[in-house]
Structure 1
Amino acid sequence: MIMVKKARDTENYLHHIYIHMNEADQFVIFSGLTMQQFVQNAGPLQHLLLLKHEYEDSSFNIHTQLEFVPDEEVLSFTKEYMDKPTDLRWIDFADERRLNMLTPQEQAELLYIGHKKEPIRSPFYYQLQNRFVYLSNEEESMTKIYFRELNDSIHLVVNILNQVVRDKERGAPFWRRKQKEGYPELTLEQCIAHKPLMKEGVLLSLFKLEKSKATYDLEIRSLPESVFPDEIWDELTAVMKHNPDETIRF
């Protein structure tokens, strides 16, 4: 008798995030990523030079005629966009002294990025010492981020998923918490091993197993080019009916 594996119910998954990596141009397309998640999990951020925004409490740089958010105000800036996501485009920079050294050509390139959501050349500037270029569209259904170090994108996703796990475990009844072993943890190495799939575009889906020593599965599903990232959430039930291409258990 052939046993058919029962499909998991979509609502039982803890988190989904779409990632499509472009290694040649050093950017990643995300869907299911919020500005708050990025700020909390990308590591300490520098000042943010705002290329497109609706933030009213920014500072102003006379040299570039652009507004910016000082590093100590980044968290406040993030909270502003928690409940009203919008088009948001920025590039980080080390300090205002360096910002004042940008040439007219470099300033023009930044304006182009803010308008077209793509750079004329590499968007990583010696003067700015920037690590990221963050470009989100309305309601953050899609976010395009350039990474100076592309593996930082995988590190970001690992941090987000591990935070979901910690939040889940902390919410478990006291007698079920792992006091000695700590929380299950997805590693950077586990995800980097699946980097080739990420270059094709994948949906990562986190599921908690019951009655198992290995408590979580991260399912990886390749999505065809015909499926646009911002449409995934309308078609999620259909997408999840397909078996995952790979599964990471941890």
Structure 2
Amino acid sequence: MVKKVRDTEDFLHHIYIHMNEVGHFVLFSGITMYQFVQNAGPLQNLLLLKHEYKDSSFNIHTQLEFVPDEEVFSFTKEFMDNPTDLRWIDFTDERRLNMLSPQEQAELLYIGHKKESIRSPFYYQLQNRFVYLSNEDESITKIYFRELDDSFQLVVNILNQVVRNKENGAPFWRRKQKERFPELTMAQLISHKPMLKEGVLLSLYKVEKTKLTYDLEIRFLPESIYPDEIWDELTTVIKQSPDKTIRF
């Protein structure tokens, strides 16, 4: 029997990852701000370095606007259907924000303008976990992680959410109890960490003719394809055999 050639519609989700372990950041494509907020864990207040949000609060010391933690979800919903150039850094409370030195404030302005840091972008005063830097159409998102393993947890959470959404959408007579849904684990993804440093496309696929099984296919991307061009070349990329497959 001739093996069926998969089409883009056969896959449930794609995420591009290129990890820079030294710089403590990851380049993503295929992740939205909404997905990040849903799956990165509870977020603190957000200091806005570049934005078009009209309902933000204002910090006199830094002369920058911010989003209080209780308004983060509303802030995120604002851009669900209208992505925008968005750059922010989280912080614990405004009292600590007021302790930033002129040098540190200048560094934040540089990050917001250049989307790169002069030195480590994790500040004692802010106690921040992330620096989030996306372009207007979210085709490339650069995220600094204080704990780089949080990037693995983010991806695992997003893909497992896709699986849950898929299974919850099945006819009621085929649904399984939530605890029986397959789940990708941190250990499975971290075991492929060396590959993620090279730039890969993760593609989630439901295995047919099984009770409940999913494959996460990992493909090295050709050097000729830039992250923001992946979706134009997706049909060609997925025709290539995966370099590795994680089954769960």
Same fold (TM over 0.5): yes
The residue that corresponds to 2:240 in the other structure is 242
> 2:149 and 2:100 mapped to 1: Cα distance?
28
Displacement of 1:69 after TM fit? Answer: 0.1
The residue that corresponds to 1:75 in the other structure is 73
Contiguous gaps of at least 5 residues in structure 1? none
> 1:9 and 1:230 mapped to 2: Cα distance?
20
- 5 Å-filtered alignment, 1:19-30, equals 19-30=17-28
> 2:168 and 2:186 mapped to 1: Cα distance?
22
- 5 Å-filtered alignment, 1:154-169, equals 154-169=152-167
| SS of the residue 2:180 aligns to | coil
CA displacement 1:144-163 (0-9 Å, x = unmatched): 00000011111000000000
- 5 Å-filtered alignment, 1:119-134, equals 119-134=117-132
Paired residues of 2:18 and 2:196 also in contact (CA < 8 A): yes
| SS of the residue 1:168 aligns to | helix
- 5 Å-filtered alignment, 1:142-153, equals 142-153=140-151
The residue that corresponds to 1:190 in the other structure is 188
Q: Which amino acid aligns with 2:23?
A: D
Contiguous gaps of at least 5 residues in structure 2? none
Q: Sort the Cα spacing of 1:110 and 1:164 in 2 relative to 1 into closer, same or farther, 3 A.
A: same
Match of 2:103 among 90, 102, 105: 105
Aligned length: 248
Paired-residue identity, %: 82
CA displacement 1:162-183 (0-9 Å, x = unmatched): 0000000001111212238521
List 4+ stretches of structure 1 deviating above 6 A.
none
Matched, 1:58 2:56: yes
Matched, 1:42 2:40: yes
Aligned-residue CA RMSD (Å): 1.1
Q: Which amino acid aligns with 1:76?
A: S
> 2:178 and 2:138 mapped to 1: Cα distance?
39
Q: Which amino acid aligns with 2:234?
A: L
Paired residues of 1:49 and 1:66 also in contact (CA < 8 A): yes
The residue that corresponds to 2:12 in the other structure is 14
TM-score of the aligned structures, taking structure 2 as reference length: 0.97
Paired residues of 1:214 and 1:249 also in contact (CA < 8 A): no
| SS of the residue 2:156 aligns to | helix
> 2:162 and 2:27 mapped to 1: Cα distance?
21
The residue that corresponds to 2:197 in the other structure is 199
> 2:59 and 2:195 mapped to 1: Cα distance?
42
Q: Sort the Cα spacing of 1:167 and 1:5 in 2 relative to 1 into closer, same or farther, 3 A.
A: same
> 1:180 and 1:152 mapped to 2: Cα distance?
24
TM-score of the aligned structures, taking structure 1 as reference length: 0.97
Paired residues of 2:17 and 2:28 also in contact (CA < 8 A): yes
| SS of the residue 1:40 aligns to | helix
CA displacement 1:179-218 (0-9 Å, x = unmatched): 3852111101100001110000010000111221451010
> 1:201 and 1:4 mapped to 2: Cα distance?
31
Displacement of 1:21 after TM fit? Answer: 0.2
Paired residues of 2:181 and 2:212 also in contact (CA < 8 A): no
Displacement of 1:9 after TM fit? Answer: 2.1
> 2:83 and 2:240 mapped to 1: Cα distance?
31
Match of 2:134 among 133, 136, 139: 136
| SS of the residue 1:166 aligns to | helix
Q: Which amino acid aligns with 1:154?
A: F
Displacement of 1:225 after TM fit? Answer: 2.1
> 2:102 and 2:89 mapped to 1: Cα distance?
17
> 2:230 and 2:73 mapped to 1: Cα distance?
29
